[in-house]
Amino acid sequence: MKVITEAILRSELRASTPEAYTVPEGKILSPAAREYLQQCKIRIEDGKGKKNPVKKAEEEQTAEKPEIQATKVLPMPEVQVEKEAKPKFVDYDTGAYYYEKPEHMTHLYGNTLVPKDHKRIFFRGKLDSLETLFVLNQTLLLEMGESQKLIDDLQDVLVSLREMMRCDVMNEPFRREFIIGLSHAELREHSHNPMKFYKIKQMVLPDYTLGKAYALLNQLRAAVREVEVAAATAFHEGRTYAREDIIEELNRMSSAMHIIMCKYLAEAYKE
């Protein structure tokens, strides 16, 4: 049986493109020739005028194939869900979140919490106690008939302590340029050289013979120093200190209390 190749077809169909090509009886199309006719959309018929059985079967299958449509899927009904509650507080040390404030914790600042025995809260407790001691000793000194100038100097230190507490709670920087009328540099200079400014030896040791007022002033000086140490502990983080501004101001307050004691011995408050 002779084979009709693609080359033979191209030669035969060079002049025209018929709707159908009849394969002569006793001949067959090569696969390439059959593909060529299909590409040219030329129907293939056998020598008896019948359609190619394969092609015919494909057409019948296509004609009989029912149209398939996807079933419409209705959208899922939306269920109203309450918005998820957000945590209100965060743990300063661990970063954990809390929906409610645990009873054993307190505010460090804002919505940041720490345990109530945290070193920063311990410092605030010391600072609070120091403020109450200033108020008490001012009251006692006033009842003892001491100078209003002395009471006012102590009040100036108390104002600094209260501002310090506010800045720590609000997480704001703290700075006072002057305490008892002296700059930071002057406080250091006067405290280190009281003989030059007040004709008093440096840090005269307290003694009962110096009187009750001097003892009360010394009590305040020691209490300020104690809070200064508590601040250094509270703000110590690794090799650095978180609030050097507060530690520095407490150091200056210690100097201020030493100066107040020197001025008292020098009778500067009686002028």
What does the pLDDT look like over 193-227, one tens digit per residue?
Answer: 999 999 998 777 899 999 999 999 999 999 999 99
**What would the two tokens of residue 86 be?**
């957000």
pLDDT of amino acid 76: 54
**What would the two tokens of residue 257 be?**
């209390």
pLDDT of amino acid 32: 81
SS3 content of the chain, % helix, strand, coil (to 5): 50, 15, 35
The domain containing residue 129 runs over which residues?
A: 118-270
User: Across residues 1-23, what is the average pLDDT?
Assistant: 79
- Residue 163 burial (C-beta neighbours within 10 Å; 0-12, 13-18, 19+): middle
Please report whether residue 82 resides in a domain.
Answer: no
Instruction: Assess whether pLDDT exceeds 80 at residue 3.
Output: no
Please report whether residue 92 resides in a domain.
Answer: no
Helix (H) or strand (E) holding 197: helix 194-198
pLDDT of amino acid 205: 86
- Rounded to 10 deg, the angle between the 184-192 and 244-265 helix axes is 50
CA–CA gap between residue 118 and residue 97 (Å, rounded): 18
Please report whether residue 69 resides in a domain.
Answer: no
3 state SS of 84: coil
Task: Give the percent of the chain with pLDDT over 90.
Answer: 53
Same domain, 127 and 229: yes
99-154: per-residue pLDDT in tens? 889 999 999 888 899 999 999 999 999 999 999 999 999 999 999 999 999 999 99
Instruction: Assess whether pLDDT exceeds 70 at residue 77.
Output: no
220-267: per-residue pLDDT in tens? 999 999 999 999 999 998 889 989 999 999 999 999 999 999 999 999
Same domain, 131 and 257: yes
DSSP-derived secondary structure letter, 15: S
pLDDT of amino acid 63: 54
How many C-alpha atoms does 17 have within 13 Å on its Cβ side? 7
pLDDT of amino acid 72: 65
Question: Alpha-carbon Rg of the chain, whole angstroms?
Answer: 50
| Stated pTM of the model | 0.66
Same domain, 265 and 143: yes
Please report whether residue 112 resides in a domain.
Answer: no
Give the Cβ contact number of residue 154 at 10 Å.
24
The better pLDDT of the pair 129, 80 is held by 129
pLDDT of amino acid 66: 59
Instruction: Assess whether pLDDT exceeds 70 at residue 81.
Output: no
pLDDT of amino acid 5: 82
Query: Which of 10-14, 93-97, 187-191, 213-217 shows the lowest mean pLDDT across its residues?
Result: 10-14
Same domain, 143 and 37: no
pLDDT of amino acid 110: 87
User: Total structural domains in the chain?
Assistant: 2
